[in-house]
């Protein structure tokens, strides 16, 4: 449920937009269906050809069934036959895309008819809004069914009305019906059952496992190890659990979070974990919609609306087709040639795009330039805090592949409170109730090895020696590199990690003296300085405030590595907040007041009344790994060459991104490695990965580990985020990570 909107009379504003979308959808469906009777086009993967060419070629099969080769253009489409065509020997057929076109065409036809049939009348919109009003006051709702969502989506089509909505009448949505009806969720459930089966098998020896790091990955690893009957012990350096999702309270008792974290329906392992812990009700699901601030219309928004009842991938396609504010229809159709290979080949095609940035991919496939400013800038900064010219296209395609294949994959939820209490504490209680342990304030000083390279023990900073049967590192990549023992430093498996580093990001909390007109959802700012933001006083139960807003914003890119022109990590809090206030003045032109403390607001008119009453700036110099082009192949698998040592962490190799889902899955896979080793089973194929030849063939000199010397309270030293409130703290941050103290050209040269 969302803020209620005033409804126009039935004849005051005829909905020509929906009729136009209906007509275009039917036309597109007809065109694609007719394509089924055209010649067959085969995309032939390069490995199936007898020799390599410098240009792409495709096989064309006209109705006569006579095969010939013709040169392809940059979009993978056939050009006129060429006498210079090389003599290829096709050993296997490529992928016939006609069935895909036919399926999409039929689906588009059906979806177009559904749009027309499901289009609500004004009376139905009013009924749906009254239903939500009742829910807001009584907690109960009428049985309006899917029509309620459709009616509300129709009511939201006027961005100005959306901005004028009443936040007090907002609410949340039920658990999405299709989240658990996916192959990925079923795989997550099957792996969980494997752990339980191990626990019930008395023939499997039980192991004591020491886990370094109490973030999401370390906690997930411990949870599944204890489920399998083993004895995990977690050692977290800081006094708070959660790693990159950690949070703490300020002097006023307000929570300050390391980052703005959103849960997607396409997070199968996280959803499975919540179900197992019995805390699914702590997810506050929002309407299935994406909301974008409109750069050319300050103060207004546009949306991608996912029509209920239409399955993936058609719901995603329709959401884009129904929006006429961001891209024109010709621009949308111009994107199809780039997406077809992904639909046909899947992850194999996606992985081959790692060397290309988002902009490189766009231009290679002839996508319109405007899609960068309208869509990809928002996506890139939301996925990895990087601008499109720096982000590997494999990240965007991986996300799109999930969202295109899962009906509720893009539906979003907020946790109903702070992550340490509402999630991490529940995992800790689960682990300890079943025989494991979780220690905070227990930093590891050194990983000590035996002569054969295996782990002998861990030495804690306190001097305590930790001996276990198995050891798991769930540290962030930049911290792990400082702990690699000298005997391991010459092994190519560990030297490939040199190619990875975390991306800087800044998270902001801004408390205002009054309520801003907001939506109960995540918003994509499309701002040069901001990624996404949300009014947490509206979206989150624990932070709810009917009178004052608290915006949580992701400030990105904040360094040259991420595509920025300024190294904001070394700037003062006041400089960062002033720049942000300038952006908020653009997003909320009639609400933000002109405040002499913040010069960027000096041009605000008299209508603006909202003033900033306090703020928090959380710096994380090394967040998720920087997914710049060419880096994905260096992500190591969980299985290491060390007989009793396993890797976890969202930066390790797994099919999801550096995210909460990636961290949870990596921890679960690390637990599976330990369990398979204990049971004498061979490792799973997806847990092994070839090392790049130039890394494997390298000749390396030993390196002594640097370790971490920062105080327990210095979260940055341990890969987390913190408020840097003094010059001493800033100096300590730069001493721990010198890259944050250099600027511009020097920083880029280092990278």
Q: Residue 279, Cα to own-chain centre: how many angstroms? A: 21
Q: Is the pLDDT of residue 670 over 80?
A: yes
Residue 375: what pLDDT?
A: 86
Residue 135: what pLDDT?
A: 44
Which of these three, 606, 625, 644, is where a domain ends? Answer: 625
Residues in the chain: 751
Average pLDDT for residues 710-732, to the nearest whole number?
79
Residue 115 in domain: no
Residue 383 in domain: yes
Give the Å distances, CA to CA, from 88 to 50, 66, 71, 92, 125: 6, 15, 12, 12, 60
Q: Is the pLDDT of residue 297 over 90?
A: no
- Residue 205's domain comprises 181-246+417-501+627-717
Reported as half-sphere exposure (CB side, CA atoms, 13 A), residue 564 has a value of 25
Cβ count near 522 (within 10 Å): 20
Query: What's the pLDDT band for 675 if we cut at 50, 70, 90?
Result: very high
Residue 106: what pLDDT?
A: 54
* 8 Å CB contact between 359 and 353: no
Query: What's the pLDDT band for 105 if we cut at 50, 70, 90?
Result: low
The pLDDT tens digits for 366-416 are 898 888 888 888 888 888 888 888 899 999 898 888 888 899 999 999 999
- Residues 394, 477 within the same domain: no
Which of these three, 346, 376, 409, is where a domain ends? Answer: 409
Average pLDDT for residues 233-245, to the nearest whole number?
95
Residue 254 in domain: no
Q: Is the pLDDT of residue 705 over 60?
A: yes
Give the Å distances, CA to CA, from 626 to 258, 504, 621: 18, 9, 11
The answer to whether 444 is a known ligand-binding residue is: yes
Residue 277: what pLDDT?
A: 98
Residue 537: what pLDDT?
A: 96
Which of 724, 675, 699, 527 is closest to 191 using CA atoms?
675
* 8 Å CB contact between 535 and 291: no
The pLDDT tens digits for 578-622 are 999 999 998 888 899 999 999 999 988 888 899 999 999 999 988
The answer to whether 50 is a known ligand-binding residue is: no
Residue 489 in domain: yes
Give the DSSP letter string of 171-231.
--BPPPTTTTSSHHHHHHHHHHHHHHHHHT-TTSPP-EEEEE--BHHHHHHHHHHHHTT-E
Residue 155: what pLDDT?
A: 43
Residue 187 in domain: yes
- Residues 543, 621 within the same domain: yes
Q: How far apart are CA 313 and CA 311, in angstroms?
A: 6
The CATH number of the domain holding residue 241 is 3.50.50.60
The more confident residue out of 375 and 515 is 515
- Residues 621, 633 within the same domain: no
Residue 429 in domain: yes
Residue 298: what pLDDT?
A: 75
Residue 656: what pLDDT?
A: 85
- Residues 320, 400 within the same domain: yes
Residue 99: what pLDDT?
A: 52
- Listed range (45-49, 121-125, 292-296, 741-745) with the worst mean pLDDT: 45-49
Q: How far apart are CA 630 and CA 653, in angstroms?
A: 14
Residue 518 in domain: yes
The answer to whether 106 is a known ligand-binding residue is: no
Q: Is the pLDDT of residue 6 over 70?
A: no
Residue 68: what pLDDT?
A: 39
The DSSP symbol for 690 reads P
> End-to-end alpha-carbon separation of the chain, Å?
46
Whether pTM exceeds 0.75: yes
Q: Is the pLDDT of residue 702 over 50?
A: yes
The answer to whether 316 is a known ligand-binding residue is: no
Average pLDDT for residues 202-208, to the nearest whole number?
97
Which of 698, 658, 676, 671 is closest to 494 using CA atoms?
698
The CATH number of the domain holding residue 572 is 3.90.660.10
Cβ neighbours of residue 683 under 8 Å, at least 6 residues apart? 639, 673, 676
The answer to whether 251 is a known ligand-binding residue is: no
Residue 399: what pLDDT?
A: 87
Average pLDDT for residues 35-53, to the nearest whole number?
38
- Residues 331, 391 within the same domain: yes
Q: How far apart are CA 263 and CA 267, in angstroms?
A: 7
Residue 100: what pLDDT?
A: 52
- Residues 512, 497 within the same domain: no
Q: How far apart are CA 493 and CA 691, in angstroms?
A: 7
Residue 60: what pLDDT?
A: 38
Residue 603: what pLDDT?
A: 87
Residue 89: what pLDDT?
A: 35
Residue 468: what pLDDT?
A: 98
The more confident residue out of 297 and 242 is 242
Percent of the chain with pLDDT over 70: 74
Query: What's the pLDDT band for 189 if we cut at 50, 70, 90?
Result: very high
The more confident residue out of 28 and 434 is 434
Residue 55: what pLDDT?
A: 36
Q: How far apart are CA 385 and CA 382, in angstroms?
A: 6
Task: For strands 523-524 and 289-293, give the pairing.
Answer: parallel
Let me know the angle formed at the C-alpha of 727 by 533 and 565, rounded to the nearest 5 degrees: 50
Residue 127: what pLDDT?
A: 43
- Residues 561, 520 within the same domain: yes
The average confidence (pLDDT) of the chain is 80
Sheet with 645-647: strands ordered across: 437-439, 231-235, 208-212, 470-473, 645-647
Query: What's the pLDDT band for 722 if we cut at 50, 70, 90?
Result: confident
Q: Is the pLDDT of residue 32 over 60?
A: no
- Which of 467-471, 689-693, 700-704, 720-724 has the highest average model confidence (pLDDT)? 467-471
- Residues 404, 421 within the same domain: no
Cβ count near 54 (within 10 Å): 5
Q: How far apart are CA 715 and CA 242, in angstroms?
A: 12
- Residues 375, 320 within the same domain: yes
* 8 Å CB contact between 443 and 339: no
- Residues 645, 701 within the same domain: yes
The more confident residue out of 332 and 508 is 508
Cite the beta strand spans of 382-502 per DSSP E.
Answer: 412-415, 437-439, 444-449, 455-460, 465-466, 470-473
Query: What's the pLDDT band for 741 if we cut at 50, 70, 90?
Result: low
Which of these three, 577, 610, 625, is where a domain ends? Answer: 625
Query: What's the pLDDT band for 335 if we cut at 50, 70, 90?
Result: confident
Cβ neighbours of residue 47 under 8 Å, at least 6 residues apart? none
**Tally of domains in the chain:** 3
Residue 357 in domain: yes
Name the one residue in this structure whose structure tokens are 């049985």.
143
- Residues 600, 649 within the same domain: no
- Residues 467, 528 within the same domain: no
Query: What's the pLDDT band for 169 if we cut at 50, 70, 90?
Result: very low
């Amino acid at each position: 449920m969302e803020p209620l909107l005033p409804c126009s009379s039935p004849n005051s504003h005829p909905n020509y937009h929906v009729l136009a979308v209906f007509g275009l959808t039917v036309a597109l469906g007809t065109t694609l269906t007719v394509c089924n009777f055209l010649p067959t086009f085969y995309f032939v993967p390069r490995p199936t050809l007898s020799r390599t060419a410098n240009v792409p070629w495709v096989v064309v099969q006209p109705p006569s069934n006579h095969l010939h080769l013709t040169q392809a253009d940059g979009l993978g489409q056939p050009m006129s036959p060429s006498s210079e065509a090389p003599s290829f020997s096709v050993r296997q057929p490529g992928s016939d895309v006609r069935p895909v076109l036919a399926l999409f065409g039929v689906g588009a036809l059906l979806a177009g008819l559904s749009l027309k049939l499901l289009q609500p009348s004004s009376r139905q919109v009013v009924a749906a809004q009254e239903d939500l009003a009742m829910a807001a006051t009584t907690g109960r709702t009428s049985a309006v069914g899917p029509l309620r969502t459709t009616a509300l989506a129709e009511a939201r089509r006027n961005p100005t009305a959306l901005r004028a909505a009443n936040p007090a009448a907002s609410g949340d949505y039920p658990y999405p019906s299709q989240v658990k009806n996916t192959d990925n969720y079923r795989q997550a459930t099957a792996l969980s059952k494997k752990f339980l089966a191990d626990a019930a098998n008395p023939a499997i020896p039980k192991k004591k496992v020491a886990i370094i790091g109490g973030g999401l990955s370390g906690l997930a690893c411990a949870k599944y190890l204890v489920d399998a009957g083993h004895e995990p012990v977690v050692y977290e350096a800081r006094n708070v659990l959660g790693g990159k999702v950690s949070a703490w309270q300020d002097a006023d008792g307000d929570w300050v979070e390391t980052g703005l974290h959103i849960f997607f329906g396409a997070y199968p392992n996280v959803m499975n974990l919540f179900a197992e812990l019995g805390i699914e009700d702590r997810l506050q699901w929002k309407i299935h919609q994406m909301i974008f601030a409109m750069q050319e219309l300050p103060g207004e928004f546009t949306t991608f609306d996912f029509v209920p009842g239409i399955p993936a991938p058609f719901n995603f396609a329709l959401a884009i087709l129904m929006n006429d504010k961001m891209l024109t229809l010709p621009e949308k159709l111009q994107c199809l040639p780039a997406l077809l290979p992904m639909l046909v080949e899947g992850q194999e095609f996606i992985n081959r795009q790692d060397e290309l940035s988002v902009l490189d991919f766009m231009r290679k496939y002839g996508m319109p330039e405007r899609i960068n400013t309208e869509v990809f800038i928002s996506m890139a900064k939301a996925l990895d805090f990087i601008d499109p010219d720096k982000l590997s296209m494999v990240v965007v395609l991986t996300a799109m592949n999930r969202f295109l294949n899962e009906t509720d994959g893009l539906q979003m939820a907020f946790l109903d409170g702070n992550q340490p209490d509402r999630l991490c504490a529940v995992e800790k209680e689960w682990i300890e109730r079943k025989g494991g342990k979780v220690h905070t304030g227990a930093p590891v000083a050194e990983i000590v090895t035996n002569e054969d390279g295996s782990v002998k023990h861990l030495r804690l900073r306190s001097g305590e020696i930790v001996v276990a049967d198995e050891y798991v590192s769930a540290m962030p990549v930049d911290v792990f590199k400082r702990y690699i023992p000298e005997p391991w430093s010459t092994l190519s498996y560990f030297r490939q990690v040199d190619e990875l580093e975390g991306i800087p990001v800044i998270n902001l909390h801004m408390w205002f003296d009054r309520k801003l007109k907001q939506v109960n959802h995540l918003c994509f700012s499309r701002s040069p300085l901001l990624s996404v933001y949300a009014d947490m006083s509206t979206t989150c139960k624990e932070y709810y405030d009917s009178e004052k807003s608290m915006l949580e914003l992701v400030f990105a890119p904040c360094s040259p590595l991420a595509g920025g022109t300024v190294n904001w990590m070394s700037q003062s809090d006041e400089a960062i907040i002033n720049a942000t206030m300038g952006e908020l003045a653009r997003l909320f032109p009639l609400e933000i007041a002109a405040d002499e403390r913040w010069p960027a607001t000096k041009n605000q008119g008299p209508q603006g009344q909202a003033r900033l009453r306090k703020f928090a700036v959380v710096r994380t110099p090394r967040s998720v790994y920087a997914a710049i082009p060419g880096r994905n192949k260096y992500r190591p698998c969980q299985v290491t060459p060390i007989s009793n040592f396993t890797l976890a962490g969202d930066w390790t190799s797994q099919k999801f991104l550096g995210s909460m889902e990636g961290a949870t899955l990596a921890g679960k896979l690390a637990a599976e490695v330990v369990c398979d080793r204990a049971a004498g089973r061979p490792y799973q194929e997806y847990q092994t990965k070839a090392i790049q030849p130039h890394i494997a063939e390298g000749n390396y000199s030993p390196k002594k580990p640097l370790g971490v010397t920062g105080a327990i309270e210095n979260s940055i030293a341990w890969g987390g985020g913190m408020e840097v409130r003094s010059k001493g703290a800033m100096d300590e941050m730069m001493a721990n990570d010198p890259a944050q103290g250099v600027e511009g050209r020097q920083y880029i040269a280092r990278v």
